[in-house]
Structure 1
Amino acid sequence: MRLIHVSDIHVGATSEAILDAAHQAIKAHPGAALVVSGDLTQRGSRDEFRRARDWVDAVKLPTIVVPGNHDTPLLHPGHRVFKPFDRYRDYFGDLTRPLNAGAARLLPLNTARGWQSRANWAEGSVALDELDEMISEGADSGAVPIMVCHHPFTPFSGAGLTTRTRRGDVASERLARSPVRLLMTGHVHTPHIERIAPGSGEYIALSAGTLSLRLRASPPGFNIVDIDADGLSVAPYTYNHETFEPLPTARLDWTEASDPG
């Protein structure tokens, strides 16, 4: 089963050339579903959301989307505090729901916030009751449960951005003890895969790059993820002037203790 994993499109801070090239590369490697792990827009404007939805729809795959911190209205502080995701829901609410894709059950979790009582409002935050609800739904589905959110629960080794997700350590421990085997995220703007083992249990954390011009340690890119009974293979595709080209594929197997089958 193949998933196309994109993140951090940042419509308003990208180029049509990058988005068109990504469309061409995705259509050349069709998958069972498109996974978009947040930051579809740059400033959370309605025009940016409309253009982002047009891009997602043009992929023509079953799609799951979660919001990122940039998907709140940047220029409207009141809206950002009191109704941060109204615009997002207007354009993507129908795609923010559990989705069956082949043998997998994709589970959305919102880790973005419009405002927080700390200096960096862009950092993630996990609502543990919502996490538990998604874990329970995945466990009851009879499929391989995969969680999708914007922020990694814990910092990645060597990523271009150090994350400080509120309640991330607790969330990571709960996920590791659950049937969920894969966490698909964005935010760091670099492709990364890592096995996370916080005490008992483990899961695989996977981040996609960005389809924007807001670069950190990597050029624009996205992931092609192939999942089988033994584990997953990830091919990061990166933008090289006009086209997306694959980097070497990374492979991680499920361990016997965490075999989703």
Structure 2
Amino acid sequence: MTVIAQLSDIHVRPHGVLYQDAVDSNAMFSAAVDSLNSNRPEPDLVVISGDLTDEGTVDEYQKLRELLARLRQPFVVMPGNHDNRGNLRAAFPDHPWLPGEGSLSFARDVGQLRLVALDTSVPGLHHGELDAASLAWLDDELTVHRDQTVVIFMHHPPFMTGIPYLDIYGLRNADALAMVLARHKNVDRILAGHVHRSMQTRLGNVPVLTCPSTTTQIALRVEADAQPASFLEPPAYMLHRWTGRGQPAVSHLCYVGRFEGPLPFA
């Protein structure tokens, strides 16, 4: 069995600074770390799928390293639209799989899986895009590892959410990604962040799931004139469990917090 925990959109701020001047995102991420540390069995790997920081500053990445020091499991990080590639790379010199320049896409084995992290960020902008080099690299990865189950992590999900103020900043060329995936049969699922909500759909034949934020959740407003809004809903993360033998993953939504129970029934 292989278990990967996914956290996303943690929006770490400098010490003493609130996210959006309203929410202690650092404390909420720290609570998520506590929850992960108590998981049994422990995940084989923790993936933080973008928006590690809110403004991409050196101070924020230093605070992120401080908060991650308490995490018991190995972890990997990848950028989102709120991150800065250069500062992120400099903050994690102990992560040799991060490329030394350009896109921060990478791949590595986790148990029987091949994990592919696609960098969808566009420096200085908030929408996502996969350039031709990234798509060619993905095509090569899927070809070379055709006999392995592959899971793709990316920050921007490759679909329209129906929430107008989110879709302005979505992935611009999901159709090009779909064309690459159509040539391969070994991708179990795509796991994304960015939208601060749990969503599920498909890209071609590949399931796509999004991970909620460990801080505020974006409001489900689908009216054409909807205004941006968020709620202080329970923070959450995902646990993805592969049992092997060619079986697809089972993905679990895990809320962070203290809740009444356990009660003696199921």
Query: TM above 0.5, one fold?
Result: yes
What is the CA distance between 1:187 and its match in structure 2?
0.3
What is the CA distance between 1:148 and its match in structure 2?
1.4
Of 26, 38, 46, the match for 2:36 = 26
Where do residues 176-255 of structure 1 align in structure 2 (5 Å cutoff)? Answer: 176-178=182-184, 179-197=186-204, 202-213=205-216, 215-217=218-220, 218-228=233-243, 229-240=246-257, 242=258
Which residue in the other structure is 2:16 paired with? none
Higher-Rg structure is: 2
What is the CA distance between 1:6 and its match in structure 2?
0.6
Inter-CA distance 17–159: structure 2 relative to 1 (3 Å threshold): farther
Measure the CA separation in 2 of the matches of 1:102 and 1:20.
27
Measure the CA separation in 2 of the matches of 1:101 and 1:33.
7
Inter-CA distance 154–244: structure 2 relative to 1 (3 Å threshold): farther
**Residue ranges of structure 2 left out of the alignment (5+ in a row):** 14-18, 99-105, 221-232, 262-266
Inter-CA distance 56–182: structure 2 relative to 1 (3 Å threshold): farther
What is the total number of aligned residue pairs between the two structures? 223
Moved more, 98-107 or 228-237: 228-237
Of 125, 137, 142, the match for 2:141 = 137
What is the CA distance between 1:177 and its match in structure 2?
2.9
Which residue in the other structure is 2:88 paired with? 88
Contact 2:10 2:25 in 1 (8 A): no
Matching of residue 4 in structure 1 with residue 5 in structure 2? yes
Q: How does the TM-score come out when normalised to structure 2?
A: 0.74
Aligned partner of residue 195 in structure 2, secondary structure? coil
Q: Percent identity?
A: 24
Q: Which amino acid aligns with 2:135?
A: L
Inter-CA distance 139–157: structure 2 relative to 1 (3 Å threshold): farther
Q: Deviations over 1:122-179 (max 9, x none)?
A: 1101113212213322432343111111101222467993353122221123224323
What is the CA distance between 1:71 and its match in structure 2?
0.4
Q: Deviations over 1:2-33 (max 9, x none)?
A: 11011101002243432232112112221111
Where do residues 43-192 of structure 1 align in structure 2 (5 Å cutoff)? Answer: 43-72=55-84, 85-92=85-92, 94=95, 96=98, 97-115=106-124, 121-141=125-145, 142-156=147-161, 161-162=166-167, 164-178=170-184, 179-192=186-199
Q: Which amino acid aligns with 1:41?
A: T
